[in-house]
Amino acid sequence: MEDVKLMVKELADNYGRSEENLLPILQGIVEREKYISEEAMVEVARELDISAAQVYGTATFYSFLETKPTGKYVIRVCKTISCMIKGKNDIIRELENVLRIKMGETTHDNLFSLRETNCLGQCHKGPAMLINDTPYTELTPEKVRKILCDIRNIEFPAN
Q: Give the separation between CA 48 and CA 121, rounded to whole angstroms.
A: 32
pLDDT tens for each residue of 68-101: 999 999 999 988 888 889 999 999 999 999 999 9
Domains of the chain: 4-61 (1.10.10), 73-155 (3.40.30.10)
In this structure, are residues 128 and 135 in contact, taking their beta carbons and an 8 Å threshold? yes
State residue 80's pLDDT score: 87
Reduced DSSP (H G I as helix, E B as strand, rest coil) percent helix, strand, coil of the chain, to 5: 50, 10, 35
pLDDT class of 118 with cuts at 50, 70, 90: confident
Q: Give the separation between CA 118 and CA 107, rounded to whole angstroms.
A: 22
SS3 category, 111: coil
7 vs 2, higher pLDDT: 7
pLDDT class of 122 with cuts at 50, 70, 90: confident
State residue 126's pLDDT score: 86
Q: What is the pTM of this model?
A: 0.81
SS3 category, 70: coil
pLDDT class of 1 with cuts at 50, 70, 90: very low
Average pLDDT, the chain: 92
State residue 121's pLDDT score: 85
